Amino acid sequence: MILGICGSGRKEGNTGALVEEVLKQTGSETELVWLIDLNVGYCTGCMRCTFEGNCWQQDGMTELYKKMIDSEAIVIGSPCYYGDVSGLVKSMMDRSIALGYMGIGKESETPMHGRKPLADKPAAVVSAVAGHGVERALETMERFVSYNEMKLVGKFGAVAGMQDVREHANIMTEAGELGARIKEMLR
């Protein structure tokens, strides 16, 4: 199963359309998770996960951890707000630190970082913005992929003004090409 994680607060928006197109073009079984539905709390930086093996917060991240670990590949999408990822995506990334302390995956080269259960998993990142700043949003998600030692298949940032990306064949084609790359990598 290929997991899509969408950090938009609007299900009818451009970011969701991009993630859906990437997933569709993989030709695989997929699941799209909307962070807005998970009620994800923010990371408190308590580091209890390092000693307890899980985050103490029992919210939507509890199930998302399992989906991330069990997936074959991950597609992350965030709208670009104030030149970076949405707060929903940032909270998901911050809370994902607990993955390293669940006793799953290869050992990190930095002992304090625990393990890397997402290592070598293909990943793609997409972002949509009306005006500018999409490069930074993509960079933030790329760092998350890199930190987790996932394989970045590609990235795509759509600058669509106030228009719907679905009305731009070139944008949807480029998003779909990311899905095709994931499909190829999983062969």
User: What number does CATH give the domain 2-186?
Assistant: 3.40.50.360
Tokens of 7: 């950090």
Q: Domain residue spans in the chain?
A: 2-186
Please state, as a whole number, how many other Cβ atoms lie within 10 Å of the Cβ of residue 86. 23
User: pTM of the entire structure?
Assistant: 0.96
- pLDDT tens per residue, range 101-111: 999 999 988 87
- pLDDT tens per residue, range 44-95: 999 999 999 999 999 999 999 999 999 999 999 999 999 999 999 999 999 9
